A and B are shown apart, each in its own frame.
Chain A
Amino acid sequence: MNRFQRTTFKILLVLAGITLVPAIAFADPTSDKPNTPMSTHGTISSAPSLCKSLYGLYETQEKTLIQWGEMKVTRPQALPARKIQDAFGKVWKAVRDARHLQLMGESAGSDLTNKLPGVEIRVADAGLKYANTTPGQKARAKALAELQRTATKRQRALEQAKQAAASGNLENAEKQLEAYGMELHENIAFLTLKQREPYLRQLGNYLSPVDQALSRKRRAAYKQQAQRKISADLAKADQFAVEARRIASEISASGSATLGSPDTEGDALVALDYVAKQWADQSASVNRCAALYLAFNSTISNDYDGDGESSGDTESNPISQNAGRLYQAGVAAIADLVSATAQWTPAEKAGDTYSAILRKIAVLNRRCSGTDLQEKCLGPLGRLAAKAPGLANTVASYQQATSGLLYWRAKFANAQSKAMLESYQDASTRMGTQERIETTNKPEAMGRFTPSNRIIAPLSLSQPANWQVFETSTKLVGSKVSAKTLLRLSPTSQTAVSQYANNYFVNAVAPAPNRSTIKQLKVDLILGTDHDVLSFDAADAITAAERNDYVFVGGVVGRVHLEAMTTRFATLPTAASCLVPIGRIPTPGPGAAANQICWRLDIAPTWAGAKYFVTRTDAR
């Protein structure tokens, strides 16, 4: 490769790092597409379509307001009166729908609740600006006359709705009141604020009790719906323990077990892979449940009855117990499988099996919240080693031959990572830093932007997500950050993630170790075609090199994603289970879980540090 080719290759690698990360990608606002709507988990089936239509309305209205922005100042008489009226009614309804979306456990509802009132205020303002013009004055007089003329009829409509509510038909009452409200907003669009007030108060008097009762009813029903899903999924997760025990006992009895479908049989090693896969899959499922629990038990801003129970930290999330049980069940099941393996492995295969198990456990162990797996498998592995004459001695010698060097490799790799970390700021520290935000994508028509000192990437949504992700990106894209852990999603996926913590994770193409590193590791671990690892640490070292699993990663931020924390984990793909260590559930930061952000930073790694080696992509 000449210098040009090398440079091109490096650029391609960086681009690949930025773009080749689709495995857990879905639509959400990003630094390059900030206006993408926030996604939904859709636990309540009508939520996704409602969400889509509300974002559509927001987008349209924002564009319209941008058009009106200049007209409001230069020629307000030319503002389109009918469109203002229409928008006033529609946006009023949309604000209500956004709250409904929140009740459905969708954080997109929080975003829309941050977005739409701003639109409502500006539409109302356009009405006022128009009303101050000559044609506007006429329109106002006409509207007042119309309101007077229809007073009795409107009063009747309100009473009708009240009766519907009294007879228990809250949905019908709401429907009537919303139709009334939309029409009323169209009619009061050109009134002064003072003139609007009695009409709005009157509507509020009828609507508030309906809203209160209905939101309580809806929240309870939605929560129940979510709880049914949670319970069903948790039951499956608990079933894992039973299934794993069955497999272990079948293996123990006959050396093979039925795996998954009735016609699939497998020996102990195949069973171990199968159980490990089920374990990780169920861990993803438990994480989805934990997020749904947060979504439907979170405090909601504008919550009518304030029944939000908690801001949902791990302590109060009961699903952490399921995660703990799943962890223990997996550890026990795998230790049992190793025991069963020891029972059925013929002496001549004991060595190879021993190594194969060590490798599998090493990979799994990096995806767990503790080291119990390694510890619990020690005894069964000892029994396996005892199967072949001399194997236990060989294992002990191998330990002596490799542990010293691995001790030094770990010391050196750790020092290398520390040296690299000096020029890479910890991502969460960087994100939590206050800096002066100078630029925005917030349109002028949506309000004045004042540069100010703000947290680069706040934990909660406090302004529209599309502006937030843009402003955050101005400070993060291009910066050098580091994160703890980088684990490949699977042996076949290039995508790797850091384990979620502090409301963020990084996403990257895992860098493969340099060839010389792998070669040297094989020398250090005395590996060859016929000789595999015989210690856990050696297995940890070589599998980390082969899987590209790291404990640190540093790189340049290429893209920033703003995802809702609850949605991220409620829709966690099974393939991305390693985002949360098995045995844990994702923890939200302080504040209402429904408003929590899960930042995702796509980075192009320049280095990554494993326990026993460091990979530098800039040194190739």
Chain B
Amino acid sequence: MFSADRSSQLILQPSRRSLGWVCTATMLVFSFGGCSKESIDSAVSAVKETGQDLASRTQDMANNAVTAAKEQLPETGSASLNLDPRFVSDSAQVRIVNIADGRESVLQISNYAPDTVPSSYPQLFIQGNTRASSISQLSGKAVMCSIYAKSDASSPLIATPDGELIRVMFSSPNIEKGTIKATINRGNLITPAGQTIRLNGGSVTALVPVRKTESDE
């Protein structure tokens, strides 16, 4: 089931929430990896077992989920880099791309939808190679990453110099909130003009992508 294991984005946005509790529950379970087909099936059937009019139940659940998401979840994640001035973004998402041909996987954190080109500021992109093949496997692990950041149209794009990757340390994912936190180490970034910018660490709370499941199709 996970063989292709390519992530595709499904961010928790209002338009997607109406998909219903069944999907949401299933997807959250999915997204943290490590679940067997059986356990997912049982989760789904547990929802089904509540019986009654499934359609109206689902609608209720969806409404509950919306409320819960509004109250508890950082809907878009967040990221900050301790630079002068501080780089702050109120969105961040993470994904792991498995190439599945024996290479390392790739960890990507961005504050815009992956596979798209950012269209507004600030812009943040973090990438590193890892043996972790799912977000849950990142827990407690560090990944050496390239960082690209641009605060606004007039500020320079800053980046890690070649060969000077910065360590990004992940904590355990928060399954309830659908996020994972990471601490960014200190390091140097450079501007295109060659000026070195000191990065005094940073942090990310990244939204974990939710994979499509059969019930989405």
Contacts and interface: CB of A to CB of B under 8 A. Distances in A.
Interface stretch (A125-133, A297-305, A413-421): A413-421
B125 interface: yes
A531 B97 contact: no
Interface in A476-522: 514, 516-517, 519-521
Interface residues of B, number: 34
B101 interface: yes
Contact of A351 (B7, B98, B101, B114): B101
A530 interface: yes
B87 interface: no
Nearest to A516: B163
Contacts of A405: 125, 127, 146
A183 interface: no
Interface residues on A, range: 35 or more
Contact of A419 (B4, B100, B101, B193): B193
B148 A401 contact: no
A516 B162 contact: yes
Contact of A400 (B114, B146, B194): B114
Nearest to B128: A523
Interface in B145-186: 146, 148, 156-157, 159, 161-163, 165
Interface in A401-450: 401-405, 407-408, 411-412, 415-416, 418-419
Contact of B103 (A407, A524, A531): A531
A73 B192 CA distance: 63
Interface stretch (A59-67, A87-95, A357-365, A388-396): A388-396
Given A397-B99, A526-B103, A517 B162 contact: yes
A398 B104 CA distance: 11
A501 B83 CA distance: 44
B192 A415 contact: yes
B162 A613 contact: yes
A408 B125 CA distance: 8
B48 interface: no
A198 interface: no
Main secondary structure of the interface of B (DSSP, over half): loop
Contacts of A419: 191-194
Contact of B162 (A398, A407, A514, A534): A514
B37 interface: no
Interface string B93-114: 0000111111111101010001
A436 B212 CA distance: 70
Which of A396, A402, A526, A528 has the most CB atoms of chain B within a 10 A radius of its CB? A526
B104 A526 contact: yes
Given A408-B148, A416-B192, A419-B194, A401 B115 contact: no
A398 to B, nearest CB: 5
Contacts of A403: 115
A413 to B, nearest CB: 8
Given A393-B4, A613-B162, A401 B125 contact: no
A398 B163 CA distance: 22
Contact of B115 (A400, A411, A526): A400
Contact of B99 (A401, A412, A523, A613): A401
B203 interface: no
Contact of B192 (A390, A412, A514, A531): A412
A52 to B, nearest CB: 51
A40 B12 CA distance: 72
A520 B129 CA distance: 11
A595 B172 CA distance: 74
Which of B108, B146, B161 has the most CB atoms of chain A within a 10 A radius of its CB? B146
A390 B100 contact: yes
A404 B7 CA distance: 14
A520 to B, nearest CB: 4
Contact of B125 (A396, A400, A404): A404
A401 B114 CA distance: 10
Given A398-B99, A401-B99, A419-B192, A412 B6 contact: no
A416 to B, nearest CB: 4
Nearest to B127: A405
Contacts of B110: 404
A400 B110 CA distance: 13
A204 B121 CA distance: 79
B123 to A, nearest CB: 9
B106 A415 contact: no
B208 to A, nearest CB: 16
A419 B195 CA distance: 11
Contact of B108 (A397, A404, A521, A530): A404
Given A403-B115, A419-B191, 8 more contacts: A396-B6, A397-B6, A405-B125, A408-B157, A412-B157, A415-B157, A521-B162, A526-B103
16 contacts: A394-B100, A401-B97, A401-B99, A401-B105, A404-B114, A404-B125, A405-B125, A405-B146, A419-B193, A519-B162, A520-B146, A520-B162, A520-B163, A523-B129, A526-B99, A526-B103
The 7 closest A-B pairs by CB, nearest first: A516-B163, A415-B192, A520-B162, A401-B106, A408-B148, A401-B97, A419-B193
